[in-house]
Amino acid sequence: MIAAQLVSNDIIPLRTSDSGEEALEMMHEFYVRHLPIVNNRELLGLISEDDILNFDATEPVGSYSLSLHHPYIKSGDHIYEVMRTFAEFQLTLAPVVNEQNEFVGIITQEDLLHYFASTVAFREPGSIIVLEVSRRDYSMAEIARIVESENAVILSTFVASDADTSTIEVTIKVNTQYISPIIATFDRFNYDIKASYSESDYLDALRERYASLMTYLNV
């Protein structure tokens, strides 16, 4: 999946002549805190809600000093690069440009959420296991071998690490509800099992987090 496949044109970019008040109205209408400023097809920058509140909202946005001038995504960027940009700049949407650096549309947080919610890893039934392993001993091949030894398959993985610790957290989703044998095997190989969830428990938690995020975005 690349950025071009998630691009939307539902939100019209700002022109330099649009006022801060008009920009705020658009932000509230689409539940975002950022909007791109475009001149013809040239991306001039990304304005944030804070930028507007720190200046005179009656003035055109073209006269503002932008706190976010450079964040953008190339249409050929992989979905992981899109996620990195969103996280690094804490964006609610990001502008997308083509190889000629021409503005082609936007990607929103909601677009990303919908994409991941529709992937096979989320739709397939299964269970979640969270492991904590040392960086030195981490081997995805071994983790997969243990799961497969119990006649199961890993549907997706997520690895999180903290630079201040010597351990990493590995979250795996497997294609079975019956995970007691898998957990027992991990325990036999001295893996630290931080948590495990049945599909229903995991989906309930995911729905709760999604609802909380939507509530936050609507504030």
Q: Among residues of the chain, what percentage have pLDDT more than 70?
A: 88
Residue, of 113 and 27, whose pLDDT is higher: 27
Decide: pTM greater than 0.85.
Answer: no
CB 48 within 8 A of CB 36: no
Instruction: Give pLDDT, residue 121.
Output: 65
* Residue 47 confidence (pLDDT) above 70: yes
Give the three-state DSSP class for 37. Answer: strand
Residue, of 96 and 79, whose pLDDT is higher: 96
With bands split at pLDDT 50, 70 and 90, how would you rate the model's confidence at 178? confident
- Residue 41 DSSP symbol: T
Instruction: State both tokens at 10.
Output: 């539902």
Instruction: State both tokens at 188.
Output: 């036999």
* Residue 120 confidence (pLDDT) above 80: no
* Residue 103 confidence (pLDDT) above 60: yes
CB 36 within 8 A of CB 45: yes
* Residue 202 confidence (pLDDT) above 60: no
With bands split at pLDDT 50, 70 and 90, how would you rate the model's confidence at 80? confident
Task: Give the DSSP H or E segment for 183.
Answer: helix 180-188
* Residue 119 confidence (pLDDT) above 90: no
* Residue 211 confidence (pLDDT) above 70: no
Q: What is the mean pLDDT of residues 157-178?
A: 86
CB 82 within 8 A of CB 96: no
Instruction: Give pLDDT, residue 96.
Output: 94
Q: Is the dihedral of CA 73, 76, 79, 84 positive or negative?
A: negative
Cβ-based burial of 123 (10 A; exposed 0-12, middle 13-18, buried ≥19): exposed
Paired residues of 160 in beta bridges:
169
Instruction: Give pLDDT, residue 18.
Output: 93
With bands split at pLDDT 50, 70 and 90, how would you rate the model's confidence at 66? confident
